[in-house]
Amino acid sequence: PAPGLVLDIPCGTGVYTAQLAGMGYELVAADASEPMLKITAERNTGATTHLCSIHDLPFANDTFDATVTLRLFSHFNQEETSRGLHELKRIIKPGGRVIFDSFRWTPRRWPLLRHFVAQSYIHEITPAQVEELIHEAGLRVVAATTRYLFSPIWQRKLPYAVLRTLSTVETKLPEQWLLRKFWACTKDA
């Protein structure tokens, strides 16, 4: 949306908060970790910070023009994700955007990795299940895109020429091969 009030939750160390501030958005950075909020505040983005959980947000209904929630819902099961989406829907204005991602990867997919990862903290929720949770929360999908054949953490270590080729290849692959889906949803009036 046009510059307006945006909630970045969880803000983590404020990387996305700083990027959004640089684009002209007024920011509120929230996280359940006080040390993360301290790092975010040190970035001097102008964002106000709040220590809170996505399941119990301290904001009034219809406060934000948009929310950005990256790398969070993969840590939640379906019920926890549903609760988070309901809270985000509550605090955005009608016509506002709820932007978040979901992952299709979990060590449970590969038997060899199961020997090294006793209990994965990543919950795999299929795109169809995510879409169902979106609708149950009273939101409507306005855009969705799937990216990353490999983890972005691994991709950052690749030479630029390889990364550029990989980005081109990704656009031609079936969606089920890719790891991360980005969702943009809205709350109708």
Instruction: Establish if 168 belongs to a structural domain.
Output: yes
Of the candidates 126, 163, 152, which has an alpha carbon nearest to the alpha carbon of residue 71? 152
Give the model's pLDDT for residue 189.
Answer: 79
pLDDT in tens, 12-53: 999 999 999 999 999 999 999 999 999 999 988 889 999 999
Q: What is the model's pLDDT at position 179?
A: 65
Task: Give the pLDDT score at 134.
Answer: 94
Residue 116, pLDDT score? 53
* Residue 61, domain member (yes or no): yes
CA–CA gap between residue 12 and residue 171 (Å, rounded): 29
| 169, amino acid identity | V
pLDDT value at residue 177: 59
What lies within 8 Å, CB to CB, of 121 at 6+ separation is 75
Q: Which two tokens stand for residue 105?
A: 């990867």
Residue 112's domain spans which residues? 53-186
Q: Which residues of the chain have pLDDT under 50?
A: 107
Rounded to two decimals, the pTM is 0.80
Total of domains in the chain: 1
Q: Are 87 and 30 in contact (CB under 8 A)?
A: no
- Asked if residue 66 belongs to a domain, the reply is yes
Q: Where are the beta strands (DSSP E) in the chain?
A: 5-8, 26-31, 48-51, 64-69, 92-103, 140-147, 180-186
The verdict on residue 144 lying in a domain is yes
pLDDT of residue 115: 54
